[in-house]
Amino acid sequence: QAAVEYLGGALFVLAGAGSGKTRVITEKIAYMITQAGYKPHHIAAITFTNKAAKEMQERVLARLGREQTRGLTVCTFHSLGMRILREEAQHVGYKKNFSILDASDSARIIGELLGSTGREAVFKAQHQISLWKNNLQTPEAAFQAANDEWSKQVAQVYAAYQATLENYQAVDFDDLIRLPTLLLQQHSDVRLKWQQRLQYLLIDECQDTNACQYALMRALVGLEGRFTAVGDDDQSIYAWRGANMENLRRLQEDYPQIKIIKLEQNYRSTARILKVANHVIANNPKLFPKRLYSSLGEGEPVRVLACDHEQHEAERAVARIQSLRATAPQRSWRDFAVLYRANHQAKAFEQALRRAQIPYKVSGGQSFFDRAEIKDLCAWLRLWINEDDDPAFMRAATTPRRGIGHQTLAALGEFASRARLSLFGALFAHSL
């Protein structure tokens, strides 16, 4: 309740796992609109995934209804960045209908610039460029900081890659946050415009922010710190993609008057599960000490089983499911779940479940529409119905390979930009 009603400045809600952090955000939005006099279009709730944004939107709608939430912004960092970039495109030298390249499109360009077709080499370079962008490092700064030949080579590829994107009038996912951040930092009039539009920010999973996302947040909330950040240092698991838990420490340094409220009651798990979890993370570096507790009783003991190999592991899991269902026939198959660390581990469990004739559903993994050959076909279909779809044109023009390289596409992109045409339209235009 204290977290919901506090609007006196910057607020950090330290929300342990299962402690109701999404409830805090949705209830605070409702409180601000119905009690504190905020207009919905002046509030923005920022999440990290589309799924989290959709869940939050549904909860807010269920709480307030569509009419009272009209104009409210609930979206990911990338969606917010894209909204800013579409509206302010002229300030960064882009047309409003710039293209957004997905990871595979970016990898294709980087592979050509790198002169490599090896997936591992391309992925490694792409990942490094992404980390540089997330840290707001320019190609020049990356090259200066490079301490080995590989880093220097990738920094040069970074520079050429960025020039190619500009020629294509395209951005990648990292640019959707990087470019708006630089824009707001460098143009005070644009910054003031967006600060007046989004007068209060609620940031979910703050421990997952990287340097670029944190800088975007700071640019939007202003010196007054009109925000509520919800996070947990014990749930920071995305350092490999640039997330920086130190941003939680920086909150205290950048906003010395920040109020901290802890949510330590877990509503999801029994006491035994929390005890085991607390032991596992006891040696982690702690920015904010806390101790989760539960009122759901002690619960069953946690069992740790040793298995000979992955097939044996899958067989034991299936046997356990069968045993539990036999002793409680009222249980449905949907009452059970098998969690694994990576998608490639699903195969052994699928085989064991099939042998036992247990129906199952796999959640996650590669979508049918993410397969390369399906994306190639869809690119032609997209271009067929929309000649202005530049990413579709690029995929159709370069797959399969037909001698059209990035230099040709760069020249076409430069001409299309000057003529304010799509890449497809530029093919048939007269010279300027």
Residue 415's pLDDT band, with cuts at 50, 70 and 90, is confident
Reduced to 3 states, what is the DSSP secondary structure of residue 296?
coil
Q: Are 271 and 298 in contact (CB under 8 A)?
A: yes
What is the structure's pLDDT at 367?
60
Residues 286-328 pLDDT 10s: 778 888 899 999 999 988 899 999 999 999 999 999 999 999 9
Residues 336-383 pLDDT 10s: 999 998 888 888 999 999 999 999 988 876 666 677 788 889 889 988
The span from the CA of 181 to the CA of 218, in Å, is 9
* pTM higher than the cut 0.85: no
Q: How far from 72 is each of 68, 149, 360, CA to CA, in Å?
A: 9, 49, 38
Reduced to 3 states, what is the DSSP secondary structure of residue 14?
strand
Type of residue found at 139: P
What is the structure's pLDDT at 8?
92
Q: Are 209 and 237 in contact (CB under 8 A)?
A: no
Residues 178-218 pLDDT 10s: 999 999 999 999 999 999 999 999 999 988 899 999 999 99
The span from the CA of 10 to the CA of 223, in Å, is 10
What pairing do the DSSP bridges indicate for beta strands 227-231 and 43-47?
unpaired
Residue 61's pLDDT band, with cuts at 50, 70 and 90, is very high
Number of C-beta neighbours around residue 362 at 10 A: 11
